[in-house]
Amino acid sequence: MIAHNIIKGNSHIDERGKLNFFNDFNLKEVVRMYEISPSSIKNVRGWQGHGKEHKWFYCSAGSFTVYLAPLPYFYNDSEKEHHVKEFNLSSNSPSVLHITGGYATAFKAKEENSRLLVFSNFSVEESVADDFRFSLNEWPINNNLKTLP
């Protein structure tokens, strides 16, 4: 199972401004989107996962670190071993991070006024029925950070 995939974007800049584009991001599966604007770079949002739902993350302003870990319900304990992967998304380097079902994510803004667009292939009702939440201590990132639900 592929847990993640980076879809590289590109930019075009001219006298009119900057255009970011993602010609390889197929939106056929996407049924909804939302934007997250953290109140502080000290906050970590997570851990939240889904058994089947896919998510795509795009940083439209600033930068984020996105953390990825396998859900313990889908892997045996020997595979869990705190296999946290870290991805850095920045509005200066356009890319979309695709996360499949079976994984939990947490994320943290690295700059004030950062914004993260999230695309999903599940409706809100489907997502709630497929939702798994954990404390930040489940897969420790940094003990000095504040956890938000």
Superfamily assignment of 4-11+30-148 in CATH? Answer: Jelly Rolls (2.60.120.10)
pTM as predicted: 0.87
In sequence order, what are the beta bridge partners of 91?
A: none
Dist. CA 68–CA 119, nearest whole Å: 16
Dist. CA 36–CA 78, nearest whole Å: 33
Question: Tens digit of pLDDT per residue, the chain (149 long)?
Answer: 456 789 999 999 999 999 999 999 999 999 999 999 999 999 999 899 999 999 999 999 999 999 998 887 666 555 555 578 899 999 999 999 999 999 999 999 999 999 999 999 999 999 999 999 998 888 877 644 444 44
Q: C-alpha distances in angstroms, 20 versus 50, 107, 113, 119?
A: 29, 22, 19, 17
How many whole angstroms from its chain centre is CA 51? 15
